[in-house]
A = this chain, B = another copy of it.
């Protein structure tokens, strides 16, 4: 492969001039032309190690998600990768699999200069993120005042779910959800739902569990039987789509017809792929806008520009087949 020296020799200029050219410095038109011709003739491509060493930029961003094998995170990763292209940056994918050690390994990698910054979607209490000097943006999870956060309007979404269930004819509502003790977005969905119910004088059943997802799923069949089926609930807002599918399975096991007897609305509104629409009625997070805002925010930090500490984006209702409208 041609080196910077080969380019300089062919262009009959100094190595310093070629280096200046490669780093966007100003040169005489004649020199620029000679270098460009030499680069073309030699099919020269910049060695990115050397560039990194000089500019301390790798043009790579790490995206930290619990798992890419999930429609919400894969749609998000798709849009983030697309956005990063506008900045000539690449995406390193990190599945933490909810493993704290995996997260720490990625933060260490970032510190070793392997990435320019992080976009993190994590539900563990990773203090390391906060203490580090790394450029970082958080999605869906509020860490601290220092880290810009991109969120859906979870509170409004909870209210919208209640409103849509009532508009579709439900009279007795319930909320089903769980969350880690650090997961504030989950609580906001619940609070928005409750606020709507209180304003409209509705008394809602609540199944809420703070802890691990699998513990919750063990308790859920009994809770659904006790709290939903026995008490005449006819409209359920479930805290996210994945949990909503669990609830739909349990309703089917109880011979409850959806949406005829009980209507169900989830939260996320992601679909399997561009071509397979979801059958679940849901509150749709604005995933493309969240991706764009996260990338923009991170680039602002990297380029030492100002960026908002909190960005809250509006949600919409997406009708599927689990509600009557």
Contact = CB atoms under 8 A, between A and B. Distances in A.
Contact of A90 (B68, B82, B92): B92
A250 interface: no
B45 A112 contact: yes
B47 A112 contact: yes
Interface string A59-87: 01001000111110111011001100000
A314 interface: no
The residue in A46, A69, A71, A77 that gathers the most chain B C-beta atoms within 10 A of its C-beta is A69
Contact of A49 (B69, B113, B245): B113
Interface stretch (A150-158, A178-186, A221-229, A271-279): A271-279
A111 interface: yes
Nearest to A45: B112
B275 A71 contact: no
A242 B109 contact: no
Interface string A172-208: 0000000000000000000000000000000000000
A284 interface: no
Interface string A283-296: 00000000000000
Interface of A: 45-50, 52-53, 56, 58, 60, 63, 67-71, 73-75, 77-78, 81-82, 90-95, 97, 108-109, 111-114, 242, 245-246, 272-276
14 contacts: A47-B112, A48-B113, A49-B52, A50-B53, A67-B78, A67-B273, A69-B273, A70-B274, A71-B71, A82-B97, A90-B92, A92-B92, A92-B93, A242-B275
Given A68-B68, A77-B93, A91-B92, 7 more contacts: A50-B53, A60-B92, A67-B273, A68-B74, A69-B77, A69-B274, A90-B94
Nearest 10 CB-CB pairs, A to B?
A: A69-B78, A74-B74, A49-B52, A70-B273, A49-B53, A93-B93, A45-B112, A91-B93, A69-B75, A48-B112
